[in-house]
Amino acid sequence: MSIRLSGTPASPGVSIGPAFLLDVEEIRVKKRTLRTPEEVESELERFSDALAKTRGELESISDQISDIIEGKQLIEVHILLLNDPSMIADAQNLIKNECVCAEYAVSRVLYEVLERFSAMKDPYLRNRAVDVRDVGRRLIANLLGTEREALVNIKSPVVLISSDLDPSQTAGLSRKQLLGIATDLGGSTSHTAILARSMGIPAVVALNDVAESAVPGQTIIIDGIHGYVILDPDDDELQFYSELKKRYNIAEAEIALNAESAAATADGQPVELSANIEFSQEADQVHRFGGYGIGLFRTEFIRLLTPGVEDNEEMHYRAYKHVLKTMNPEPVIIRTLDLGGDKFLSSIPTVEKNPFLGWRGIRICLDRPVKFSNQLRALLRAAKHGNAKIMLPMITGYDQVLQVRLMLERIAAELDRDGIPRGDIPPLGIMVETPAAVLGIDLLLPHSDFVSIGSNDLTQYTLAVDRGSPYVSKLFDSMHPAVVRQIGIVAEKCREAGKWVGICGLMASDPLAIPLLLGFGLNELSVPMTLIPDVKEIISVINMNDAKSLAEQALTLKSSDEIRKCVLNYVESKYPEIILDEIHREKNDRGN
Ligand code: PEP
Ligand code: MG
């Protein structure tokens, strides 16, 4: 019987193939004592040979992924860790003074370093333990003469199952042999997820027990669009997913055909259809998928992949410059750091019992003005390379916007004083993702140049439903009247104030929500890049007048079921069959 596991979609697409289970290697190795000075001498030599080999391996991975700035950066970090003189000296001293074999010396040093990292206060540095462990495993495998990645032995395409994957393992994988990835751990923001996305390999993470449940060689389906993994699928599932895969691939092939045409409704009303991106290199693909501009550039990942990047203005600058130049003259909405909540800080023991209600997004930035200034400096410098807009997350009051505006003015003056080139101060917008921002929208608009609705958080905060909790996931519903009505309010107030308003939460790509969002008169839908072709097709069959009356009607309905039914009645005769199939499937999953 098939087993269906639900996880976090990490990289879109569908793959079907045989499971390949990757064992997680242990770092600890056996102690071997050296008896003579000659043995010590040759062990030191063996250690330096292994260092050279490991360095060579990392350099060749770095060459292979030269087209992925962030991935390359990650491997460079690993090379830096490997070359750390104190780590090398500590291992050499253990070999010399305690007469132990090189792999044992390395494992001892590693454990000490890992312990030091785990005890670090700075959450970012603490997260770097994963990189230290990764480099250490690679070095030990070379000392032991084992092929570290059984992966190199893969001869035919497989779906890779693992409890977790090290970043360098992911980066070193061959795109040809790898159909998909499923892991127990990780989140959509984990290294593995980011790299899988950049390599275009469907992936689902945070599955909890896929590594235990899967049997080597059995057929497995990865649905990286919705976040499902199906082990040993039955005929119906195989048929459904083969079709979904085909449709996805056809959509990919048709992308080039539709990419040229701008998104517009059936009656010719233009709609800005933009991309959400998580790392800079994705911008290269936006036009291929037929998108117009970037509606949300989540900048947390630049920090995630580079040690000390909080203070590394240069890394931010390079990423923004690349995106802005690539998209120019189309707009690029760069969101300032939205750390906290479930982003990188959640795995860290924290005094906060409710991190989503805690130190998150703009709150952290304003409490750390020196570090935040580095991001704003990078933004101002990069702004001269294209059409940049700056967007602030988690806004609850106008004073937050004012503070950032003042900071931008001060930083602009400093750059001018120091003769550092910069662009004009970009338009400064806000994310509306808290009920406070909706109810106070008239107070915020005079200070905000534009608005983008973050429906993911708006749903979470409105319905008091943790967006990441499996226990309440059924209650997380952006079509709830309380959410839909708030979108209506924001759209109306923005229209009255003459302010541009878009939406960048996942609701923007929900086939049943799209008619409502258009009907409310939103200027832009910003969606995950790979969903652009579908959303464009959906927009093209909707009539704007119909959308307006659907939106009006939705405001009078009592439940999300009623709202969905009302839209479904309208779209049933219009949407392509495969999209209707998906709507019905989700309806069944919701149990209605
Ligand atoms: C949102 O909350 O809808 C949003 C787009 O931001 P994020 O998902 O990054 O919190
Ligand atoms: Mg948000």
Concatenating the DSSP letter of every residue in 431-489 gives EE-SHHHHHTHHHHGGG-SEEEE-HHHHHHHHHT--TT-GGGGGG--TTSHHHHHHHHH
Return the CATH fold of 37-144: Enzyme I; Chain A, domain 2 (1.10.274)
Instruction: Provide the sign of the torsion angle of the four alpha carbons 283, 285, 288, 289, taken in this order.
Output: negative
C-beta of residue 200 within 8 angstroms of C-beta of residue 175: yes
Query: Which residue among 457, 509, 526 is best mutated to probe the pocket of ligand 1, counting the most ligand atoms within 8 A of its Cβ?
Result: 457
Q: How many other C-beta atoms can be found within 10 angstroms of the C-beta atom of residue 17?
A: 17
To the query of whether residue 566 is one of the catalytic residues in this protein, the response is: no
Nearest ligand to residue 296 Cα: 1
| CATH topology for the 3-21+154-235 domain | Glucose Oxidase; domain 1 (3.50.30)
pTM of the model: 0.72
CA distance 228 to 219: 14
Catalytic residue from among 101, 365, 494, 504: 504
Residue among 503, 488, 427 at smallest CA distance from 274 = 503
152 Cα–ligand 2 center, Å: 39
Residue range 62-117, pLDDT digits in tens:
776 655 566 677 777 788 888 888 889 999 999 999 999 998 899 888 888 877 77
Ligand 1 pocket, residue 8 CB under 6 Å: no
To test the ligand 1 pocket, which listed residue (357, 362, 504) has its Cβ within 8 A of the most ligand atoms?
A: 504
Helix H segments across 353-433? 362-367, 369-382, 398-417
**Distance between Cα 31 and ligand 1 center (Å):** 49
The catalytic position among 191, 322, 385, 480 is 191
Listed as ranges, residues in the chain with pLDDT below 50 are 149, 307-310, 345-349
Residue 99 is a catalytic residue: no
| The two structure tokens encoding residue 356 | 């989503």
Is the CB of residue 73 below 6 angstroms from any atom belonging to ligand 1?
A: no
Q: Residue 330 and residue 387: Cα distance in Å, rounded?
A: 6
Q: What is the pLDDT of residue 300?
A: 81
The pair of three-digit structure tokens given for residue 418, joined into one six-digit string: 């120091």
Task: Name the residue of 337, 432, 433 whose CB sits within 8 Å of the most ligand 1 atoms, as the mutation to test its pocket.
Answer: 433
Handedness of CA 321, 327, 328, 329 (dihedral sign): negative
| Architecture of the domain whose range is 268-591 | Alpha-Beta Barrel (3.20)
DSSP code, position 345:
S
Domain residues of the chain, as ranges?
Answer: 3-21+154-235, 37-144, 268-591
Nearest CA to ligand 1 atom 6: 454
In whole angstroms, how large is the CA radius of gyration of the chain? Answer: 25
Ligand 1 pocket residue status of 505, Cβ below 6 Å: yes
Atom index in ligand 1 nearest the CA of residue 507 equals 3
**pLDDT (tens digit per residue) in 194-243:** 678 767 789 998 888 888 888 888 999 999 988 899 999 999 999 999 98
**According to the model, what pLDDT value does residue 219 have?**
94
State the pLDDT at residue 346: 37
Q: Indicate which ligand has the atom closest to the C-alpha of 337.
A: 1
Ligand 1: which residue has its CA nearest to atom 4?
454
Helix 577-590 × helix 560-571 angle, to 10°: 160
- Angle (nearest 5°) at CA 426 between 422 and 430: 145
